[in-house]
Amino acid sequence: MSLSFETRQVESQPILGIRATSTMDELSDLMGSLFGEVYGYIQQCGQNPAGMPFSRYHSMDGHTVDLECGMPVASALEGTSRIQAGELPAGTVATVTHMGPYESLPQTWSALTEWMGSQGLEPADAPWEVYVTDPGAEPDTSKWRTDIFFPVR
């Protein structure tokens, strides 16, 4: 698969999300339940998400991941003790689109960080993935689209 890297400016985006720690083995099950919880809360507030679900990766230490699973909202909503209001940051990001199963995302991440290094770009904040394709609606994993955004300076 051919990857196309670029940098671009993004606007800040209000979000609601849940921050959690997981092992890599338990990650997909955890993410599904967290997305469901955030989605339910947004609907309970009388709104719909303003975009597709995302995971923001605050740190990875070996097999442990500190991440935030959330959804964008049209305007800031008040969170709860568990579901926190926040925003994805504005600024310059390095970005690439991954097509295919989630299992092959690490190769796309590696290619993106390698490209960033070749361009003299330094990480500036926690990166995130946006899951453009709903796996429940598209069974063909080769058609799953994930956009990766990595804030840079």
Supply the Cα-derived Rg of the chain in whole angstroms: 15
Identify the band that residue 30 occupies on the pLDDT scale cut at 50, 70 and 90. very high
The reply to whether the predicted model has a pTM over 0.85 is yes
Angle (CA) 122 126 128, round 5° = 110
The yes-or-no verdict on residue 63 having pLDDT over 90 is no
The yes-or-no verdict on residue 39 having pLDDT over 90 is yes
Domain 6-151 has CATH 3.20.80.10: yes
Q: Give 16's strand partners.
A: 71, 85
Q: Kindly provide the residue ranges of all beta strands, DSSP E only, lying in 52-119, ordered along the sequence.
A: 54-61, 64-72, 84-88, 91-99
Identify the band that residue 1 occupies on the pLDDT scale cut at 50, 70 and 90. low
| Share above pLDDT 70 across residues of the chain, in percent, rounded to a whole number | 99
| Sign of the four-CA dihedral 125, 87, 150, 9 | negative
Amino acid letter, 110: S
Average pLDDT over residues 76-87: 95
Please list the alpha-helical segments (H only) found in 6-143.
27-44, 105-118
| Share above pLDDT 90 across residues of the chain, in percent, rounded to a whole number | 92
